[in-house]
Structure 1
């Protein structure tokens, strides 16, 4: 009688599931992990930058609202906005009305604000793409893994749970990684876009008040050494 060789036990740990997976499923897992790391890097970097810009926006709006003299920093979004307003104020035309002068000054400051906001928006499309595509990429890995599992069942002529479970577990692990990549990406994207919208509103309120004051000023209201 031939001795029955016991089946090799499968490692169902996360590392074991990855190492035992099909090469294509492994590629899907690696792609999703790299996308997740990229999303976390972008989210943390943007949140740190937005925290700094948020403080500038609050100071800018409160100072413009109070009518105090502005002392812009040498760098930063508020410094570039104030510098743009100062340059537009200096380049005045005696024939233009106060409304036209105000519109020109505000347009210059809003242009500086838009340029900075575009820089802050870099990376957000990657978050949006990962949030929408990662679950489907993980699902592709799952479908591929399950196809391989059924092929193994047909080859072994054995439908026992010990034969089916490892392959299905490896396949479903790809979907889990896809969700792990997608959920933080969606949350970070929604938060960052909301924060950027609030920043724009805060700066815009200050720009409106400052533009009105500058349009009525005959002497420079801003320091000439404002950041460029």
Structure 2
């Protein structure tokens, strides 16, 4: 009896034995998988830092009694400082409009909403690549598989050998492309959903900061209105006191 040498079907051997097109497809899928895990690490670190900064800013604005104190307590590089400065800028530009409390609040809210939406887009930056990888990797792998099977059948027809030992290696190499496509796509979809949830949590914190800024704005406007009404009472009471002093 002659001992048949075992045929190696390791992924590396199948990659080396695959055709140039299938091999290029495999390389692309491996690079896509590496990019997915790189984005996970980078975005996770970024979102952790953002959530920590937002938590500190929320505490600062919670303890501030005026908008000016909130501006002093927030760092210039944070979104909280941007929100406070936007409210302060709008309030300063509207200083020449008398009795415009509700209108000022509406303009500030519109501005803060735009800043909040821009921050949400910034937090999701880079995750679109994950959605693309998750959606296209299975089809890229399927293309490699179809091409590999076509090449295998062409070789079978040329050699006129139909035994399973001849057919199996080519088909196995082709199916490796589909496997790599799934390996790249499944983590990309899971990681995208994970980062989307983390970004949503950060956006909720930014919305809380917006509410705190509007509370400071309302508090400052209330103080200004109280001072204005107090000044009116003094002016209206002066003639009455003068008349009393003259006996009229």
More helix as a share of residues: 2
Give the corresponding residue for 2:20: 23
Counterpart Cα distance in 2 of 1:150 and 1:9: 23
Give the corresponding residue for 1:129: 132
- Aligned 8 A contact 2:84 2:213 in 1: no
Give the corresponding residue for 1:80: 82
Give the corresponding residue for 1:185: 188
Counterpart Cα distance in 1 of 2:137 and 2:120: 27
Counterpart Cα distance in 2 of 1:109 and 1:137: 43
Kindly tell me: are residues 137 and 217 of structure 1, through their superposed partners in 2, closer, same or farther at Cα, counting changes over 3 Å?
same
Q: CA shift at 1:8, angstroms?
A: 9.1
Residues paired across the two proteins, number:
215
Structure 1 unaligned spans of 5+: 1-5, 220-228
Q: CA shift at 1:122, angstroms?
A: 2.1
**Deviation digits for residues 176-203 of structure 1, max 9, x if unmatched?**
1111111111111111122222211221
- Aligned 8 A contact 2:29 2:137 in 1: yes
Give the corresponding residue for 1:49: 46
Cα RMSD, aligned residues only = 2.6
- Aligned 8 A contact 1:56 1:78 in 2: no
Give the corresponding residue for 1:36: 33
Give the corresponding residue for 2:150: 147
Counterpart Cα distance in 1 of 2:157 and 2:117: 61
Counterpart Cα distance in 2 of 1:155 and 1:91: 81
**Deviation digits for residues 111-141 of structure 1, max 9, x if unmatched?**
3333333222222221111101100110111
- Aligned 8 A contact 1:142 1:173 in 2: yes
Please, what TM-score do these two structures have when normalized by structure 1? 0.82
- Aligned 8 A contact 1:81 1:112 in 2: yes
Q: CA shift at 1:208, angstroms?
A: 1.7
1:217 is paired with a residue of what secondary structure? helix
Say whether residues 1:170 and 2:173 are aligned partners: yes
Q: CA shift at 1:165, angstroms?
A: 1.6
Match of 2:58 among 58, 61, 77: 61
Structure 2 unaligned spans of 5+: 224-248
Stretch moving more, 51-60 or 89-98? 89-98
Higher relative contact order (CA 8 A, sep 6+): 1
Q: CA shift at 1:20, angstroms?
A: 0.8
Please, what TM-score do these two structures have when normalized by structure 2? 0.76
Counterpart Cα distance in 2 of 1:7 and 1:26: 28
- Find the structure with the greater CA-based Rg: 2
Counterpart Cα distance in 1 of 2:7 and 2:103: 76
